[in-house]
Amino acid sequence: MWLNNKYTKWYFEVIENAKKRNQELMYEKHHIVPKSLGGSNKKENLVKLTPREHFICHMLLVKMTKGENKVKMSYALHMLLHVENAYQKRYKVNSYLYENLKNNIRIDMIAANRKENNPFYGKKHSAKTRAELSKLRRERIEAGSSEGNFGPLSEEKRKKVSKGVSKYFAALSKEERSKKYSTSKDKFVECEHCNRTFSPSNYAQWHGDKCKKRKEV
């Protein structure tokens, strides 16, 4: 699985040092053998790393793998740079390093989907499928959408979405809504007309004197 090079050596040195020390206050859990390469969530496959160590380890993983495994590690590094979540910070790098990382990821992705590696290699869309795709593309453009987007929602679709959202919120108790959506910055406000709770900005825009349930005096 691992290439026999200096990057593999450095990777496991970081892992072993992290296992031996007293844990830092700020740490992130890391899968020693990544899950996409068959690693598990078992305790022996997890290590607590500092954010800096975590980022370095993912850079090393790209350099200590090859083929499909390298593509997976490149994608994992890409996610580490771009995808936010509630448990881990994202990493800011200088422009030089960012350019190199992006170029390497791009090269790996292209190689992974070239010729025989591409599941659509050697295949063609039927005339019927091409006609359907062309029709869908024209409809999107005529609807005023930018290329590749699905365009604005129709009035019927808007009502359907609104009805579904309202039904979902109606099923929640006031406590559940507050617990699910409240934050330390926002205190939810109850509308005196529809008896539902909203964030201050939502309340100001759609409720209070503007509420549809408000009875005209």
178-191 residue pLDDT tens: 666 555 445 678 88
| 79 plus 180 within the same structural domain | no
Quote the percentage of the chain above a pLDDT of 70.
82
Domain for residue 130, yes or no?
A: no
Domain for residue 76, yes or no?
A: yes
pLDDT at residue number 161: 77
| 113 plus 17 within the same structural domain | yes
Angle at 181 between CA 201 and CA 163, to 5 degrees: 75
* Residue 31: φ, ψ to 5°: -85, 120
Domain that holds residue 202: 169-210
Please write the tens of the pLDDT for every residue from 153-166. 677 877 877 887 77
Domain for residue 122, yes or no?
A: no
Helix boundaries (H) for the chain: 6-20, 51-63, 67-82, 95-112, 127-142, 155-170, 174-181, 200-206
Residue 115 binned pLDDT confidence (cut-offs 50, 70, 90): confident
Neighbouring CB atoms inside 10 A of 207's CB total: 21
Domain for residue 217, yes or no?
A: no
Burial profile 166-182: b = 16 or more Cβ within 10 angstroms, e = fewer: eeeeeeeeeeebeeeee
pLDDT at residue number 21: 84
Domain for residue 123, yes or no?
A: no
Q: Which two tokens stand for residue 183?
A: 């934050």
pLDDT at residue number 36: 92
Domain for residue 70, yes or no?
A: yes
Neighbouring CB atoms inside 10 A of 61's CB total: 24
Give the residue from 117, 150, 185 where a domain finishes: 117
Domain for residue 161, yes or no?
A: no
Cα–Cα distance between 98 and 108 in angstroms, integer?
15
Give the residue from 74, 98, 117 where a domain finishes: 117
| 100 plus 181 within the same structural domain | no
| 20 plus 99 within the same structural domain | yes
Written as one letter, the residue type at 124 is: K
Residue whose token pair is 């679709």: 157
- Counting the structural domains of the chain, the total is 2
Say if strands 46-49 and 189-190 run parallel, antiparallel, or are unpaired.
Answer: unpaired
Residue whose token pair is 């899968």: 31
More confident position, 78 or 7: 7
CA distances from 151 to 115, 138, 143, 156 (A): 33, 11, 6, 14
Say if strands 28-31 and 46-49 run parallel, antiparallel, or are unpaired.
Answer: antiparallel
